[in-house]
Amino acid sequence: MSLLACRISGTGVSLPSRVVHTEEVARLCGITTEEAIRRSGVVTRRWLSDGEDPLDLGIEAAHRALKSANLSVADIDVVINASGTPLQPIPDGGSIIAAALGLPMGGYAYSMHGTCLSFLFALREAAFLVSSGRAQNVLVVSMEGGSRGLNFDQLESSLLIGDAAGAVVVSRPVNPQQGVVSSQFLLDTKGVRSAEIRGGGSRLPAGSVRGNATDYQFDMDGMKLMGGALRVLPRFLESIEPKLSKGAPSVDRVVPHQTSRAGIELMAKLWSPEKVVVTLPELGNTIAASIPVALHRAQIAEGERLLLVGTGSGTLYGGVIYQH
């Protein structure tokens, strides 16, 4: 893959005001706080309050990313919604974000949905648009309200999920080395039912007499997902770039999807822990927002080479090497 010349010119994050300690979630799940932290690796997370709208989080993160890039909404050519939890079935979430931002006529907006990897798909799409000259500035927004679909009888997901929004602006490069150096995505269909919400679509629409309440809540088989990652991830990483599964000598830092304690520990075995940007203990698994939130907190320096990597329901594997 040839270099997709572009630059991450701005990043922004917005979090719900409500801080939820694991002690509270453990009570809802019927286990001790110690066991909950041991199983998940999460100490605190943010959850939307009843009166909070995830769109507001997304818009705030977008404005912060624009300010970081020294741009206004009028400078944005394309808005991409990259969220795992949709705001509503129609209209498209990209249109909703663009309207709330006041994107002027002539701009365009749409969604790229790859569950937890939505941001990585959108980042590569933004890189394609900028490097080909079809856009000068692309705004990618990931906003998640996964706490509103939790089933507290299922410990694995309930202990992990947090809410957040992250946004980045992708612009033209300022030096010839900047951009997406390599990217790769892989689907392992063996895990297609390992993490899902069955209800809410055309198969089980709202108010359907078929199914039950749990069909509208997140259902996850974490052990099966981890088994698949152990089997697939090292080989997948080598398809992005040789030696990525053996210490990643060509990469300065790794910005992963914050899957779980087990997932972060797996990454620490593949790469030295000091290379990995970790937000899981403080924020939990914020679905597609986890990578842009971690990227924002990483405060990347000019010339740094990053691996952005993760997994998503399906089961999807994705990785992007970005040179800043």
- Which residues are catalytic, by number? 116, 257, 285
β-bridge pairing 137-144 and 219-220:
unpaired
Please tell me what DSSP assigns to residue 269.
Answer: H
Please tell me what DSSP assigns to residue 287.
Answer: G
Closest C-alpha among 301, 6, 304 to residue 173: 6
Q: Which helix (H) or strand (E) holds 145?
A: none
d(Cα 65, Cα 57) in Å, to the nearest integer? Answer: 12
Name the residue with tokens 């949709």.
86
Intra-chain end-to-end CA distance of the chain, in Å: 17
β-bridge pairing 253-256 and 305-312:
parallel
Q: What are phi and psi of 200, to 5 degrees?
A: 105, -15
The answer to whether 260 touches 160, Cβ cutoff 8 Å, is yes
d(Cα 33, Cα 179) in Å, to the nearest integer? Answer: 43
d(Cα 81, Cα 113) in Å, to the nearest integer? Answer: 8
Name the residue with tokens 């919604």.
81
The answer to whether 100 touches 55, Cβ cutoff 8 Å, is yes
Structure tokens at 198: 């069955």
Structure tokens at 319: 């990785």
